[in-house]
Amino acid sequence: MASRGPGGANHWSQQKNTHPVALLGVDLGIVNIAATSDGERHCGRRINRKRENDSKLRRKLQQKQTKSAMRRSRKYAGKEARRNKDINHKISKRIVAGTERTGRGVALEDLRGMRQRARLGKLQRTTLHSWTFARLGAFIVYKAKKAGVPVAYVDPAYTSQECSRCHHIERGNRPSRARFACRSCGFVDHADRNSSHNIAHRGWMAWVCGVQSAAPELTLIA
């Protein structure tokens, strides 16, 4: 429901979901831009290839150092920024709409400092910096707040190595980037989906522990 405030601006108000039935875990990544505990994955391979090609083209144009080349370089940079914004908008809208429809909240990893902690190859570091995970997370949080959907941030440590079934943590649980295979209980799953379930579990624990002392519009830190 919208009300018009001073200057004619629209100010949206939405009833807060103070008692979510569960939390949807969202794992933000490089190959899969976002994977949810519902089993939905937003693949980023095609997007990453396009971004890499655009980056190479801009470098070539910048090396020419002519006014025409610099104008084209800025044009391509703006086009990429608009494309990334549109993709972030569509993914975040789909995620939040699903939680709003089912009476759930959203659980996200607290990725502050991820760039300093991540051990990645040169290409992956470039992708990490250019995609700006924080921006996609910010889109999700903004839309969730607007829709009255609660959000919980969780500690990202070992979410990729922890078994979502028995919660055994071991580096060897990740035999490959895409595959998770628990060495304790034998549980096998797609690695990103397993991580998203861990995020959902940690988020729910944070919500249950903090719900009596924190309003849902506040971000909970686990």
**Cα dihedral across residues 207, 194, 156, 99: positive or negative:** negative
Cα 147 off chain centre by = 18
List the domain range (segments joined by +) for residue 190.
22-41+89-209
Q: Which helix (H) or strand (E) holds 102?
A: helix 67-102
Report yes or no on 56 lying in a domain.
Answer: no
Q: What is the pTM of this model?
A: 0.75
Report yes or no on 9 lying in a domain.
Answer: no
Report yes or no on 218 lying in a domain.
Answer: no
What distance in Å separates the CA atoms of residue 143 and residue 99, rounded to the nearest whole number?
11
**153 beta partners:** 108, 221
Is 97 in contact with 18 (CB distance < 8 Å)?
Answer: no
Number of domains in the chain: 1
Report yes or no on 178 lying in a domain.
Answer: yes
Query: For 123-170, what is each residue's pLDDT tens digit?
Result: 455 555 555 666 888 899 999 999 999 999 999 999 999 999 999 999
Report yes or no on 60 lying in a domain.
Answer: no
Supply the DSSP string of 147-160, one letter for each residue: HT--EEEE--TTTT
Report yes or no on 201 lying in a domain.
Answer: yes
Report yes or no on 219 lying in a domain.
Answer: no
Strand ordering across the sheet containing 220-221: 41-43, 32-36, 23-28, 105-109, 151-154, 220-221
pLDDT for 17 beyond 80: yes
pLDDT for 119 beyond 50: no
Which of 63-77, 134-148, 178-192: highest mean pLDDT?
A: 178-192
* CATH code of 148's domain: 3.30.420
**Alpha-carbon dihedral angle through residues 193, 194, 197, 203, given to the nearest 10 degrees:** -110
